[in-house]
Each structure stands twice: as structure tokens, then as C-alpha cells.
Amino acid sequence: MDTVLRAEKVTKYFMEPEKFKVLDDISFSVERGQFLSIIGKSGCGKSTLLYILSTMDTDYEGKMEMNGKLLTGLTQNKLAAFRNEHIGFVFQFHFLLPEFTVLQNVMIPALKLGKYSKQEIEHRAMEKLKLLGMEEHAKKRSSKLSGGQQQRVAIARSLINDPTIIMGDEPTGNLDKKNSEVVFDILKGLSVEHKQTIITVTHDGEFAAKCDRIIEMSDGKIIKF
């Protein structure tokens, strides 16, 4: 199997209001194309873990590798560049820029990466929108879309740089049941057909149950995986 992420003995403390261990000796690895959900009650440490896995939080003990590269100890600038190229994000709230069109929103991470010409980025963005059945909305302002449509655009945006991993923080948390199922099916299709690795944190038991793998956390520890 092709391991794309490895966390080894990751431990994290919060210092306020007093020293508190929020993650305790977390070790696991993720294979390419795997669709993984991290579950557990509020306060169990799952969102904190996702922020460390996504390189947003660097204040931890232990080490983390992605694509065979050791990320622990890299400078913020190097991590930001790595993150933009290798990690796509889908959040509970889509964070689309309302004054921009759907197409412009999807293009943003690729323009930032600077790897392709603007023309090529536009072509790639349209391809991702087609993949998600949103190409006919490309010229609309994102503020004119429904919640479910906006989340599909956010997924297209997360795919624009062909990331190693898509990380989702409650990706269906703001959607009704029907749209939650649509978003799940899209993510599942990406993992099966395109070998896209996906890691999500979710409170949605039905969503997690349909994933390839579940990691359950309690009090900062992995209790099942």
C-alpha cells in the first residue's frame, strides 16, 4: 500500500487557562485513496488533530510526514507552500468569496500556487466544476447558489491543485440530509474513481459509517481505528 500520511506519537498541550493535554500519543497512517472519518464527542481532540494533520498547527510533540516528506519542524513559509500544493480543504462553511464568480472561486488556490498559466487554470477549474455537475453555474456569483451548490463548489476548489489529501472539517455540518448525502457521494466517488485520499472530522454517524475507515477518539486518545 502507498502511505500518504503518517503521524507518530503526536501529543499536544493547551496552556490556557492551565496546562491540559488535548492529544495524547496519537499514531496512525493513511493510505492513498482511503476515505477516513475521525469521530468522537465534542472536546475529544478531533478538530485539534485535523489542524495538526493539515499543518496549520505546528505546536505539538511527535512527528508528521506526508508524501514521504517530514513536515515537523519546517518553517511557516515552507508549510504554507506545501499546504497549498498538497492539501485541499472543505469546511463546514464553504468560505467562498461572494463577490466572485463560481469559476473565480475555484481558480484561487491554483493562481496562488503559480504552477500553470491563467488560461490553463481556468480550463482546470472548469474540469473540476464538470466533475461536480456545476459547470453551468461557472459565471454566476457564488452568493447566488444554494448551500448544497456552494459546498460542491468548495469541493471543486479543494481539488484544483490535485492535492495529495482533501481534509474536511464537518463538511456536511451545515447541510440538510439530502445535500449531506450528495456531498458524501461526491467524496466517495473521488476516493473510488480518482484514488483521492480524504480525511474528515464529523459528528455525523451516518456519514462516518459509510467511509472506508473510522478513527474514534475520546479524551485526546484514539480508542478505535
For the chain, the domain total comes to: 1
Mean pLDDT for 157-182 is: 85
**Residue range(s) defining the domain that contains residue 114:** 3-224
CA 83 – CA 89 distance, rounded (Å)? 10
Q: How confident is the model at residue 94 (pLDDT cuts 50, 70, 90)?
A: low
> What is the DSSP secondary structure assignment for residue 141, as one 8-state letter?
B
> Looking at 7-11, 89-93, 151-155, 169-173, which range is the least confident one?
89-93
Nearest of 124, 90, 131, 86 to residue 107 by alpha carbon: 124
CATH number of the domain enclosing 33: 3.40.50.300
Nearest of 51, 67, 96, 86 to residue 6 by alpha carbon: 67
CA 91 – CA 97 distance, rounded (Å)? 14
Grid coordinates representing 86 are 498538497
Grid coordinates representing 218 are 475520546
pTM equals: 0.87
- SS3 of 101, please? strand
The pLDDT score that the predictor gives to residue 123 is 93
Contacts of 173 (CB under 8 A, 6+ apart): 92, 202, 203, 204
